[in-house]
Amino acid sequence: MAPLGEETPLIGERSCSLSSAEAGTLQVYLYHRAPAPRGPPGAPVLTFTFGEYTAEELCVRAAKACGVLPVCHPLFALATEDLSCWFPPNHIFTVDDSRSQVVVYRIRFFFPNWCGLGQSHRFQLLNDRASPVLDYPVIDYLFAQSRSDFIGGRVAVGLSLPTQEECLSLALLDMLRIAKEQRQSPDEVFSHVSYKSCLPERLRCQIQQHNFLTRKRIRRRFSKSLRKIGSCQTDGRYLKLKYLLDLERLQRRWAEESFPVRSPGAAAAIVIHVAGESGVAWSCGGSENRQHFCDFPDIADISIKQASREGGPVENRVVTLTKTDNRVLEMEFPTLREARSFVALLDGYYRLTADAHHYFCKEVAPPRLLEDVENQCHGPISSEFAVNKLKVAGSRPGLYLLRRSPQDFDSYLLTVCVETRSGPDYKRCLIRRDEDGNFWLSGVPRRFCSLRELLGTYGCCGLQAEGAHMRLAACCPPLPRGDTVTARAQPPRPPLTATPPPQTSPTC
């Protein structure tokens, strides 16, 4: 059970289950919701009624509720309630009277030490200035999600004495955070919140099996340590970062997804491992020996096709992963849903590390990305980055760049190069989008059905902004690998074998 006074639901403890969902609804559960302008945070659930919704649309709605900005939106995805499978961004949920549905909004894409220093950064400004990957709302959400996984038993930790000490240290940070957020002394919190409520169930049970004197000694030592560090002057967010860093060191396979598959045409079972720090690897059955296949920027193509048995189609799907050196890895997934979950994972990591505007399979392509490609629109890049792109493109009068707003999911920014007496200058216009899908230029009442119609109209008649007359002569479109959201300064891990065989499918 969660500590008293906590707003974070433990999804894994079935406190919110399918049986509690209303019929004819789709419920999106959140680990953390942004506080309302006045008052406490809202309920950690978003409810949707009759209609059709894409997974990406639901993620955008959840991001708004959690205070997540567009630049960090690609890190999130929707998972099934039991976290066994993920939905690609273009998955369509149909809500009707026949059944209720529950999904979970989670951070899916991770990079090594992104809460620490010196390894992962987001490059979006000039002169290679780096800013941290995560902002405060995402740190809050990552903490709530990681804490829920830890307490709910989804983090694989042993029960050795050193591991128990590390878990108790995490509980200590958690209790101190609760005290800071509730503006209470550590003693006050300790009097009504059990420290065991901040530990995984297996460890709680082990402690409970100790005799009375041992449990009392552990409790007294915990209370003494809490009182000692409680005198330190720190805030809740620093404690969350410390908690995340310690939890990352505690997990052996941090932020890795594994997929049990088969090699096409063979009976051998293999496991595909995907991690943000190392890319794609595979192993045989339960073997710890892994064969590295590729890092994400090395992927050239991904395809999904239906498998067949004795000439007839079956539910299984074969995913073919091709590297830039033409080496191929083939995997047979038991269902289409699992195959799309895997491909969406690689697709997302590729956009975060190599090319923010690329997708391999239309079966999993984000709808917003397809819109951007059609409209030659950049992602949520900064104003400085946009101006720099126009300068590199020549800064001709009438050259313009369309980009999504870094602050608002429903806004676009138009940066136009104009000629002034002192030389080239760059003017900015705000474009808004309403719930019906209509676009309009801020300050102008006229509505347009599409961005292309809006730009075409003002390209013919021109427009006024910041006291200057502007014309839209030519667009500066996104270039391949030009708007990478996340870059890793850390080199990928080397393969386990120096010269892996150029096979078309893994064999054990």
CATH number (domain holding residue 332): 2.30.29.30
Let me know whether 435 and 349 are in one domain. Answer: no
Is 405 part of a structural domain of the chain?
A: yes
Is 185 part of a structural domain of the chain?
A: yes
CA distance 380 to 382: 7
Let me know whether 360 and 422 are in one domain. Answer: no
Is 456 part of a structural domain of the chain?
A: yes
C-alpha distances in Å from residue 396, one per residue of 4, 119, 173, 378, 414: 61, 38, 56, 19, 15
Domain housing 71: 11-109
Contact 418, 427 (CB under 8 A): yes
Is 125 part of a structural domain of the chain?
A: no
pLDDT at 39 over 60: no
Let me know whether 54 and 104 are in one domain. Answer: yes
Express each pLDDT in 259-273 by its tens digit.
999 988 776 789 999
Domain count, the chain: 4
Mean pLDDT of 128-150: 80
Domain boundary among 109, 134, 168: 109
Mean pLDDT of 234-253: 86
Let me know whether 361 and 261 are in one domain. Answer: yes
pLDDT at 485 over 60: no
Contact 102, 27 (CB under 8 A): yes
Q: How many CB atoms lie within 10 A of CB 47?
A: 13
- Here the CATH number for the domain that contains residue 407 is 3.30.505.10
Is 229 part of a structural domain of the chain?
A: yes
Let me know whether 267 and 364 are in one domain. Answer: yes
What confidence category does residue 197 fall into, taking pLDDT thresholds of 50, 70 and 90? very high
The confidence score (pLDDT) of residue 467 equals 67
Mean pLDDT of the residues in the chain: 83
What confidence category does residue 230 fall into, taking pLDDT thresholds of 50, 70 and 90? confident
Let me know whether 26 and 82 are in one domain. Answer: yes
Radius of gyration, CA atoms only, the chain: 25
The confidence score (pLDDT) of residue 183 equals 87
Q: CB-based contacts of 357: which residues, under 8 Å, 6+ apart? A: 351, 369, 372, 373, 379, 478, 480, 482, 483
Is 98 part of a structural domain of the chain?
A: yes
CA distance 402 to 380: 10
The confidence score (pLDDT) of residue 141 equals 95
Let me know whether 382 and 462 are in one domain. Answer: yes
Is 265 part of a structural domain of the chain?
A: yes
CA distance 124 to 133: 10
Domain boundary among 370, 401, 420: 370
Express each pLDDT in 464-477 by its tens digit.
766 677 888 999 99
Let me know whether 327 and 397 are in one domain. Answer: no
Contact 446, 453 (CB under 8 A): no
Let me know whether 386 and 358 are in one domain. Answer: no
Residue matched to tokens 């190599």: 354
Mean pLDDT of 18-27: 70
pLDDT at 453 over 60: yes
Let me know whether 42 and 94 are in one domain. Answer: yes
Which of the 8 DSSP states describes residue 297? G
Pair of tokens at residue 347: 């697709």
Pair of tokens at residue 163: 């591991």
Let me know whether 345 and 382 are in one domain. Answer: no
Domain boundary among 183, 217, 250: 250
- pTM of this structure: 0.86
Is 494 part of a structural domain of the chain?
A: no
pLDDT at 100 over 50: yes
Pair of tokens at residue 15: 């406190």
CA 270 to chain centre: 27
Question: Of 23-37, 64-78, 111-125, where does the model show the most confidence?
Answer: 64-78
Q: How many CB atoms lie within 10 A of CB 444?
A: 13
> Closest Cα to residue 108, out of 302, 332, 276?
276
Express each pLDDT in 335-380 by its tens digit.
999 999 999 999 999 999 999 999 999 999 999 999 999 999 999 9
Let me know whether 274 and 357 are in one domain. Answer: yes
CA distance 13 to 153: 9
